[in-house]
Structure 1
């Protein structure tokens, strides 16, 4: 069961399904980071106007939902690949990263070359993150 801790607030996700638990946990973690990034990016404009516009809130929600969804798909795929393969190693991250990168690109872009490049990038980034995680 995934556990998240932020500012001394512990959140436990337990839906009864490990795949869904990991997906929801990834969505919440990365979605929060993406929404915070959008706030930080627009902080100057918000301060200059003196108020938050509806478009600012929409952008925060859209960024959070997009990146949260990508993270949820990735963590779910990594877990699923591990279950299928019967082992948990860096190859799961590579496969899940490639599938997630290709899927996210296919949803937002119809260019086949871009989909392949995004799949390769997703696999490479996920593999690199996994190796860095092993080093620390």
Structure 2
């Protein structure tokens, strides 16, 4: 089995794709108006419109209602990313300023325009770097 992607459902795929392009520096592929994907080196972030849920099962996913999942991105320097994000035209809501966590990651929590929680993190201890080495 191979874990391939995480998909978020949105009422505005274009807006969310633009946000993630700015936040991650990845270019979104748009194979259809109702779908975008940002392909990174380890996983793909897919964005589907709410109308695509009818193809699966109506009501299976509801836009802007997530309060349990966190989308996590490993970055080179959390503090530098924090400064960059704060200066975007549509700066995200910061939930937690850069903080070093007990497990050795320096972490920044913020929300995308749909309210999904995002963690940019950098392993800062030897143990954390070893744990995340592939």
Q: Give the TM-score range, shorter chain.
A: under 0.3
Pick the structure with more helix per residue.
1
Question: Is the radius of gyration larger for structure 1 or structure 2?
Answer: 1
TM-score under structure 1 length normalisation: 0.24
TM-score under structure 2 length normalisation: 0.24
Pick the structure with more strand per residue.
2
